[in-house]
Amino acid sequence: MRFVDLIEKKKQGHHLSKEEIDYWIDGFVKGDIPDYQVSALCMAICFQGMSDEEQFCLTEAMLHSGKIIDLSPIHTPICDKHSTGGVGDKTSLALAPMVAACGLCVAKMSGRGLGHTGGTLDKLESIHGFQINKSEDDFMRQVQDIGLAIVSQSDTLVPADRLLYALRDVSATVDSIPLIASSIMSKKLAMGADTILLDVKYGNGAFMNTSEKARKLAQAMLDIAKRFHKKACAMITNMNQPLGNAVGNALEVKEAIETLQGKGSKDFTQLCLEAGSLLLTKTHLSQDREDGIHKLKQVIENGKALEKFLAMVAYQGGDVLQITDPNRLPKANMQIELLSTKNGFVQDVCAHTIGVSAMKLGAGRSQKHDHIQHETGIVLKKKQGDFVQKGEALAVIHTNQALEEQIRNELFNAFTIGDAMPQIQPLIEEVML
């Protein structure tokens, strides 16, 4: 078999067989197939797409390129959750402890942020001492003991995805639905959870810019889960404005803690409750949506959700005093208010601009090797539909150095203010089961 023939076959719009896909992934991981040929095939896939069968075979080949965690010794429903990335998306930090407090085990492998989207691991590492690297045995023990673990991807899990994603990132082949779906699902399946929740975001702050593309990606992942006999559900959610109020690592940890205390922002709390209810219902720990939301509100009110978060932080070496007293979390040298220059209703808060500005302040990376300043970021004081008066704060900028005029202007431009109350866009557009 010659790899150049696979490139030509896909370039012409034909389907690759299971044997051809296995040859591709196995040869690439072993180093027998050069990067430039794999890049060419990925580009052909971007233009020609893949059939459902090809997507399944690619996911399967990537999944079996490394180890698969066996969680069968744990005799409790086990779930995993994945978000396609957004601005201010700290959902895992609050959602995972909430559902764990309701009796559902959460075994989650998370990633880092790049560009304008934040990463769960970066947020957790703003907690002093928090360890994201766990051996498989330690990971299993933690899930068994406290029902909750959020860790980084190990080198032995889905090495094909790690190699392929690095190549796609530098060859302009990231935005292919078959490649995205296979990448995400191979990692989710490798973790061994019974039930998977997919939060697929769309809008200017997400990788999918329209709800139609988000829906197509969600359906591709649900189809893959079904082929692997896994329970899965998806939420199509709006990322045209940041989720919650905080954008930046330590700031988002603080907002997650507030949410676990019942004091979180309305939109972020809504997403956590709806997502948590979906998981509880899918795993038969609640009767329906209303029952699930009731159970989640109960564990917030009685403090059990926050206790789960504390238990995870303690188990992974983090400073629990920073959780019981969030004022101990890293703080930036300066907090600068961004003041409105006129009266009116906030029509729009551009998530992409906010995310890029936070990155420039040090809260994110433009390159993978960039150093994160965990304390920096932006806290929104006004969001879509809010009325603001001239001189009132639109946001508070947390920075370690004097604010550049360019960043200030970009942040001003992120807020659109008008005379009329805008039509509020729904946060959750659709639930796909």
Among 125-129, 173-177, 184-188, the minimum mean pLDDT is found in: 173-177
52-83 pLDDT per residue, tens = 999 999 999 999 999 999 999 999 999 999 99
DSSP 8-state code for residue 203: S
Burial of 304 (0-12, 13-18, 19+ CB in 10 A): middle
Q: Is 260 among the domain residues?
A: yes
Residues 166 and 249 in one domain: yes
Of all residues in the chain, the percent with pLDDT exceeding 90 is 92
Q: Which residues are catalytic?
A: 82, 161, 168, 183, 187
Same domain, 311 and 374: no
* Share above pLDDT 70 across residues of the chain, in percent, rounded to a whole number: 99
Average pLDDT for residues 177-200, to the nearest whole number?
96
Residue 188 and residue 308 in one domain: yes
Section 354-381 average pLDDT: 91
Contact between 89 and 285 (Cβ < 8 Å): no
CATH code of the domain covering residue 350:
3.90.1170.30
Whether 44 and 89 share a structural domain = no
Average pLDDT for 224-239: 97
Least confident of 5-14, 170-179, 293-302, 319-328: 170-179
Per-residue confidence at 115, pLDDT binned at 50, 70, 90? low
Chain mean pLDDT for the chain: 96
| 141, pLDDT greater than 90 | yes
pLDDT band at 367 (very low <50, low <70, confident <90, very high): confident
What value does the mean pLDDT take over residues 169-175? 88
Q: Answer whether residue 151 shows pLDDT above 90.
A: yes
Residues 8 and 42 in one domain: yes
**Helix, strand or coil, per DSSP, at residue 344:** strand
pLDDT at 114: 61
Written as six digits, the tokens of 169 are: 């990132």
What one-character DSSP code corresponds to residue 219? H
For the segment 1-36, what is each residue's pLDDT rounded down to a tens digit?
A: 999 999 999 999 999 999 999 999 999 999 999 999
Among 309, 324, 339, which residue terminates a domain? 324
- Mean pLDDT over 305-325 rounds to 98
Task: Provide the domain limits for residue 33.
Answer: 3-49
Checking if the pLDDT of 154 tops 70, the result is yes
Say if CB 428 and CB 271 are below 8 A apart.
Answer: yes
The answer to whether residue 162 sits within a structural domain is yes
DSSP, residue by residue, 354-403: HHHHHIIIIIS-SSTTPPP-TT-EEEES--TT-EE-TTSEEEEEEESSPP
Asked whether residue 163 is domain-assigned, the answer is yes
Q: Which of 76-90, 135-149, 266-280, 362-376 has the lowest mean pLDDT?
A: 362-376
- In 10 A of CB 76, how many CB atoms? 14
> Phi and psi (nearest 5°) for 395?
-160, 165
In a domain, residue 189? The reply is: yes
Amino acid 170: pLDDT: 85
Does the pLDDT at position 117 exceed 80?
no
Q: What is the mean pLDDT of residues 322-327?
A: 98
Per-residue pLDDT at 112: 80
Q: Nearest CA to 123 among 153, 98, 92, 146?
A: 92
| Average pLDDT estimate for 272-296 | 98
Distance between CA atoms of residues 419 and 127, nearest Å: 42
Residue 429 in domain: no
**Partners of 108 in beta bridges:** 150
Domain-ending residue, one of 271, 301, 324: 324
> How far is residue 139's CA from residue 157's CA, in Å, rounded to a whole number?
13
Q: Residue 353 in contact with residue 414, Cβ under 8 Å? A: yes
d(Cα 77, Cα 286) in Å, to the nearest integer? Answer: 12
139/179 same-domain check: yes
Q: Same structural domain for residues 238 and 375?
A: no
Res 118 pLDDT > 80: no
Residues 302 and 278 in one domain: yes
- pTM, whole model, 2 decimals? 0.95
69 in Cβ contact with 157 (< 8 Å): yes
Averaged over 253-261, what is the pLDDT? 98
Q: How many CB atoms lie within 10 A of CB 297?
A: 16
Token digits for 385? Answer: 């539909």
pLDDT at 335: 98
Q: What is the pLDDT of residue 312?
A: 98
Give the number of domains in the chain: 3
Whether residues 147 and 246 share a domain: the answer is: yes
Q: Are 205 and 285 members of one domain?
A: yes
**Do 135 and 150 lie in a common domain?**
yes
Q: Is residue 66 part of a domain?
A: no
